[in-house]
Amino acid sequence: MAPDLGTPPVPYGTPVRDLMETEVHDPVDLLFVNRVLRTAGLRPEGYRTTPLVRRIPACLRAVRAGSKDAALEMIVDHPAKLQTAVNALLIGTTSFFRDTATFSHLADDIVPRLAAEARLPRVWSVACSDGSELVSVALLFARHGAASRGRFLGTDCRPSAVASAKRGIYTPEAVAALPADLGERFFENSGKGRHLIPAISSRIVWKVSDVLSEMEPGLWDLILCRNLAIYLNPASTRQLWQQLHDSLSPGGHLVVGKAENPQLPGLERTGPCIFRKNSNFQS
């Protein structure tokens, strides 16, 4: 899942241009955010600054620094502190089958049709966080016996998030909330948690990658990119939607967050937070 930077929820379909910030920020705060993200190899110019600046106090607490200068010294000398700082600025929030209406549409319509096709289904989760949403989709394919022939890719710019996704261990409470036919069939005990069975986990590739700098080679039948665009500036948002649109196969689907509303020729909304690329669209 995409970074959750503390912005209050907004109604579905609110154009990203209406979420633009108007606050004026202390240059020292902007420099701090810039230094942290750039040291981590990320592009701060792609993000809206207000959510990041609001996370600075949490970032200082996370690295146990009394000042921004002290925090910057820490992240230079200790790579682990750098990851802690980045995680504090870019908090990933996700869960299995997040947003019932969206996943109901995936379960009832999109996944069954993809599973019935002879060719290999390809699914990419952008800013995947701990992987819960991509695993949710893989489970839907498994319900139709198609997970073993699918290709599932999860990417996130935070190495710690990708490491968590690779471990694939979830709390018993999280798994218990899944539909019984999925939680009981496809997870097994692993210490104090529940582990995704190898038959499915082996089909998922997890990769550290920043979508603002690197797109994964298409074409993809289903792309999940949820609650990332609302934290990007307008230029980066337009570029992201266009590149994801171009990465979709004809007839492919893009799943976004409730506050996101990509508006591109050849892309039409077909369900809650779900958009379809016109099969006949030519760029």
Extents of the domains making up the chain: 16-89, 100-277
| 24 confidence band (pLDDT: 50, 70, 90) | confident
Low-confidence winner among 108-112, 115-119, 140-144, 271-275 (lowest mean pLDDT): 115-119
Please tell me the distance from the alpha carbon of residue 52 to that of residue 126, in angstroms, as a whole number.
Answer: 20
Please tell me the distance from the alpha carbon of residue 1 to that of residue 102, in angstroms, as a whole number.
Answer: 14
Please tell me the distance from the alpha carbon of residue 252 to that of residue 123, in angstroms, as a whole number.
Answer: 10
The strand pair at 274-277 and 248-255 is best described as antiparallel
What integer pLDDT is reported at residue 274 of this predicted model?
98
Q: Which amino acid is at 1?
A: M
Say yes or no to pLDDT of 10 above 60.
no
Say yes or no to pLDDT of 16 above 90.
no
Question: For residues 195 and 187, is the Cβ–Cβ distance under 8 A?
Answer: yes
What integer pLDDT is reported at residue 93 of this predicted model?
75
Task: Estimate to the nearest angstrom the gap between the alpha carbon of 126 and the chain centroid.
Answer: 4
CATH level 3 topology of 100-277: Rossmann fold (3.40.50)
Which distant-in-sequence residues (6+ apart) come within 8 Å of 201 by Cβ?
Answer: 168, 195
End-to-end, the C-alpha distance of the chain in Å comes to 29
What integer pLDDT is reported at residue 18 of this predicted model?
37
Which among 271, 214, 268 is positioned nearest to 245, based on CA atoms?
A: 268
pLDDT in tens, 244-261: 999 999 999 999 999 899
